[in-house]
Amino acid sequence: MIILWIDPWTATTGFSVLEKEGRKVRILEYGVITTRAGLSLPERLVQIGSDLTEILDTYHPTVCGIERLFFLRNVTNGIDVAQARGVMVHTLAVRGIPLVEFTPLQVKQGIAGNGFAKKPQVQKALKIVLGLTEIPKPDDAADALAIAYLTSLKYTGI
């Protein structure tokens, strides 16, 4: 089973790809889709869709986990991110790839055992759970690894 996870944003979208066989999880790739500063929102959306398509063509994921959006303060930024997430959801849906959604609280709870854990706590726990030698960077990629791991647990019923 190949699991993709996406942390949707417009400038830097985190992603990770894991392979799961039984209880064994192996990282295939993780990183970020970065759009250049100064691009218009439509140009960013096209690039995000194109880069995501390339990832899908390379790894052919079985399932995709994606973060559910939650914005308290900057609604304008939230609308742009929601549009980027819409491009991602559409790209996955067209290919028939099932989606599993998590809130940030669920991610923190699932990885660190505390829904209010700070980012460094989640990253240290993720390092242990995945047997990494160092904390994955950048933060968006680490977030993507966390949700891909949770998706592997939820989707396979383990």
The secondary structure of 16-74 as a DSSP string is: EEEEEETTEEEEEEEEEEEPPTT--HHHHHHHHHHHHHHHHHHH--SEEEEEPP--SS-
Q: Which amino acid is at 105?
A: L
Contact between 89 and 34 under an 8 Å Cβ cutoff? The reply is no
DSSP 8-state assignment for residue 102: E
Could you give the CA distance from residue 105 to residue 47 in angstroms, rounded to a whole number?
Answer: 29
The structural domains of the chain, ordered by start, are 2-156 (3.30.420.10)
Distance CA(106)–CA(92), nearest Å, equals 22
pLDDT tens column, 95-115: 999 998 888 888 888 888 888
Residue 17 near residue 148, CB atoms below 8 Å: yes
User: How far is it, in rounded angstroms, from Cα 21 to Cα 17?
Assistant: 13
pLDDT digits 0-9 by tens, 68-89: 876 556 666 788 889 999 999 9
Is 80 known to be catalytic?
Answer: no
Please tell me the pTM assigned to this model: 0.81
Q: Is the pLDDT of residue 119 over 50?
A: yes
Which residue is catalytic, options 21, 54, 57, 67?
Answer: 67
Spot the catalytic one: 19, 29, 57, 140. 140
Instruction: Give 17-47 pLDDT, tens digit per residue.
Output: 999 888 788 889 988 999 999 999 999 999 9
- Alpha carbon separation from 17 to 78, 97, 121, 136 (Å, rounded): 25, 14, 22, 13
29 is catalytic: no
The residue from 7, 54, 80, 134 that is catalytic is 7
Residue 5: other Cβ atoms inside 10 A: 29
Active-site residue flag, 7 = yes
